[in-house]
């Protein structure tokens, strides 16, 4: 795989991972095919666990790898016993740690690339190399990131503990959690809209100030021209 080469360009690795994540989303057959490819899951795990202190590019790669692994978990119909949902959860817990995995997964949502992409469907870029994430992928990530986190959090309860929990209470808790997630998503979306409006307002104010300055400059030029004409007339 291209993403396995440490010398691969950052943009190429990002593009391949975005393609993989898009392919895996909402498609159990794609997940089955991906899981059947030798060493794909082990590679994702190795990337997620790799040291990347201070390297923003590698941290972003790790987050995308986490998202790809999470999609395999989310859309897995369990056709491959060695990579069933339960097996993948166990791998994440034992090889990565669920909390660390969730932290890596969430990194993408905190990146500048994601913030820019999710706010504007049409990005204004000075050069093509500035293109990292687009609006559609940002929306895709936003759609499934919470579901992956919720699935791992819910399933992290041991089977022993589950037998001690009243099923009715469990259902109520799940409903409440689901409702909270929906509300949190709405709050986050509203906050994003507010930020967009604030940025647009700031831009308009800057443009207004610029035009005011231009008007003042033009008025000064007109006065100078009038003064010159007056002198010539005299």
Could you tell me if 26 and 101 lie in one domain?
yes
Instruction: Write out the residue range of the structural domain in which residue 233 sits.
Output: 166-234
Lowest mean pLDDT among 57-66, 92-101, 155-164, 173-182: 155-164
Could you tell me if 105 and 196 lie in one domain?
no
Higher pLDDT residue, 160 or 173?
173
Q: What pLDDT is attached to residue 113?
A: 87
Q: Is residue 53 scored above 90 in pLDDT?
A: no
Could you tell me if 234 and 147 lie in one domain?
no
Q: Where are the alpha helices (DSSP H) in 25-158?
A: 28-36, 40-49, 56-74, 85-91, 98-110, 112-119, 135-155
Split at pLDDT 50, 70, 90, the class of 234 is low
Split at pLDDT 50, 70, 90, the class of 185 is low
What integer is the mean pLDDT of 71-92?
93
Question: Total domain count for the chain?
Answer: 2
Could you tell me if 111 and 198 lie in one domain?
no
Dihedral angle over CA of 114, 115, 120, 121, nearest 10: 20
Q: What is the DSSP letter of 94?
A: I
What integer is the mean pLDDT of 26-45?
94
Higher pLDDT residue, 143 or 184?
143
Could you tell me if 90 and 41 lie in one domain?
yes
Is residue 61 packed enough to be buried (19+ CB in 10 Å), middle (13-18) or exposed (0-12)?
A: buried
At which of 133, 156, 179 does a domain end? 156
161 located within any domain: no
Tokens of 41: 């899951």
Q: Is residue 162 scored above 50 in pLDDT?
A: no
Provide the CATH number for the domain around residue 60.
Answer: 1.25.10.10
152 located within any domain: yes
211 located within any domain: yes
Residue 211 CA to residue 217 CA, distance in Å, equals: 10
Could you tell me if 9 and 54 lie in one domain?
yes
From 106, 27, 107, select the one nearest 74 (Cα to Cα). Answer: 27
Q: What pLDDT is attached to residue 163?
A: 45
What integer is the mean pLDDT of 198-223?
87
Higher pLDDT residue, 187 or 108?
108
47 located within any domain: yes
Could you tell me if 59 and 14 lie in one domain?
yes
What integer is the mean pLDDT of 27-50?
94
The model carries a pTM of 0.64
The whole-chain average pLDDT of the chain stands at 82
Q: What pLDDT is attached to residue 164?
A: 47
Q: Is residue 161 scored above 60 in pLDDT?
A: no
Q: What pLDDT is attached to residue 160?
A: 39
Could you tell me if 131 and 44 lie in one domain?
yes
> Contact at 8 Å (CB) between 113 and 60?
yes
> Contact at 8 Å (CB) between 82 and 63?
no
Lowest mean pLDDT among 7-21, 35-49, 102-116, 139-153: 7-21
Is residue 68 packed enough to be buried (19+ CB in 10 Å), middle (13-18) or exposed (0-12)?
A: buried
């Amino acid at each position: 795989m291209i993403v396995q080469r440490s010398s691969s360009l950052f943009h190429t690795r990002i593009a391949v991972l975005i393609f993989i994540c898009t392919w895996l989303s909402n498609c159990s057959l794609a997940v089955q095919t991906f899981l059947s490819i030798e060493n794909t899951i082990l590679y994702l795990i190795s990337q997620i666990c790799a040291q990347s202190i201070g390297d923003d590019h590698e941290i972003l790669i790790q987050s995308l790898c986490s998202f790809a692994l999470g999609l395999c978990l989310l859309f897995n119909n369990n056709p491959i016993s060695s990579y069933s949902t339960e097996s993948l959860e166990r791998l994440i817990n034992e090889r990565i740690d669920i909390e660390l995995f969730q932290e890596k997964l969430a990194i993408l949502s905190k990146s500048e690339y994601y913030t820019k992409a999710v706010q504007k469907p049409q990005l204004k870029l000075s050069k093509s190399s500035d293109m990292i994430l687009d609006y559609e992928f940002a929306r895709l990530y936003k759609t499934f990131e919470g579901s992956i986190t919720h699935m791992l959090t819910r399933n992290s309860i041991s089977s022993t503990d589950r037998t001690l929990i009243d099923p009715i209470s469990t259902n109520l808790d799940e409903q409440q959690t689901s409702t909270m997630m929906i509300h949190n998503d709405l709050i986050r979306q509203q906050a994003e809209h507010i930020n967009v409006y604030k940025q647009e307002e700031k831009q308009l104010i800057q443009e207004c100030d610029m035009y005011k300055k231009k008007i003042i400059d033009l008025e000064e030029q007109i006065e100078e021209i009038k003064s010159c004409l007056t002198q010539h007339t005299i």
